[in-house]
Chains A and B, each alone.
Chain A
């Protein structure tokens, strides 16, 4: 199938060639007059040899390309309507006057794919029932805390053993790092409701992100060894995204 742009160029070239042929027809003693005809072109007749790009373009081929162009255009419009219909299906909005085409496309899709015509159900009575809220455990910082503790112990040992009190001031660095790690986890607020999952991160600057639960595709439970020892686990959820099948 021809691309839409190429098809448009063919139709324009066809019209220009036809106009040029008719002008040549009006000229006396023209050899191409018999091949052109009066009002239009016969099937299979050539209008070419008048323009460099139109040498092999026949009326049948030009009509076919023009039909292909209109078919591809109709296909694009139908695809656009279908996509709008799916969007309406996903967000579950009631039909409105502006999206009449989308509603028709959705009805057509449901009929074509033999889907039941479900009327949108009313929203839940308690839209935001809290399920869980809180912060993650500080066991996430177990490795960092251990490393900072070992570093502080080593610095203290050096300061005491070799009598270098200045080294002891370096203990402030791992302590500050550990405090910052603790603060980062402490400032992570997670709220799970019956509608969405909200996360708020950041110590100085804040970043809040909401994920609607109806977009959740898969949930995964991951229990690393350390967290499993203390009876905790991670939950990860994937959003629904558009996938292109190859």
Chain B
């Protein structure tokens, strides 16, 4: 998803990153890499 041509983009990007991390912690999201046999 692209948010095009906006002012203060870096500030908004940092806000989004902060919210992403907070949401991931609150929801208990974890990332795992699993081998899949083909």
Contact of B6 (CB < 8 Å), options: A113, A132, A219:
A132
A-facing residues in B22-37 (Cβ within 8 Å): 22-36
Residues in A neighbouring B10, C-beta threshold 8 A: 221, 233
**In the complex the two chains form, is B27's CB within 8 Å of A131's CB?**
no
Interface residue tally on B, bucketed by range: 20 to 34
Cβ contact within 8 Å between B6 and A91: no
User: How far apart are A114's CB and chain B's nearest CB, in angstroms?
Assistant: 12
CB-CB under 8 A from A118, the residues of chain B are 28
- With CB as the reference atom, state the residue of chain A lying closest to B3: A235
B28: chain A residues at CB < 8 Å are 89, 92, 118, 120-121
Complex contact A123–B26 (CB within 8 A): yes
Q: A214-B29, A219-B16 are in contact. Are A137 and B5 (CB under 8 A)?
A: yes
In the complex, how many residues of chain A place their beta carbon closer than 8 angstroms to a beta carbon of chain B? 49
In the complex, chain B residues whose CB is within 8 Å of the CB of A233: 5-6, 9-10
Known contacts A216-B20, A219-B17, A235-B13: A113-B32 contact under CB 8 Å: yes
Is there contact, CB below 8 Å, between A197 and B3?
yes
Which residues of chain A come closer than 8 Å to B13, judged between CB atoms?
A: 219, 221, 235
Does A199 lie at the interface of the complex (its beta carbon under 8 Å from any beta carbon of B)?
Answer: yes
Q: Bound complex: CA of A86 vs CA of B33, how far in Å? A: 11
Q: How far is the CA of A135 from the CA of B23 in the complex (A)?
A: 25
Which A residues lie within 8 Å of B12 (CB)? 131-132, 192, 235
CA A223 to CA B13, docked complex, whole Å: 13
Asked whether any CB of chain B lies closer than 8 Å to the CB of A160, the reply is: no
Please name all residues of chain A whose beta carbon is closer than 8 Å to the beta carbon of B26 when the two chains form the complex: 92, 120-124
**Chain B residue at minimal CB-CB distance from A124:** B26
Residues of B within 8 A of A39 (CB): none
Q: How far is the CB of B9 from chain A (nearest CB, A)?
A: 4
Is B36's CB under 8 angstroms from A235's CB?
no
Counting chain B CB atoms within 10 Å of each CB, which of A82, A118, A212, A235 scores highest? A235
In the complex, whether A78 has a CB less than 8 A from a CB of chain B is no
* B17 CB to nearest A CB, Å: 6
Which residues of chain A are within 8 angstroms of B32 by Cβ–Cβ distance? Answer: 86, 109, 113
List 12 extra interface pairs beyond A118-B28, A136-B5, CB under 8 A.
Answer: A92-B26, A92-B28, A120-B27, A132-B12, A132-B15, A137-B5, A192-B16, A216-B20, A227-B5, A233-B5, A244-B36, A245-B35
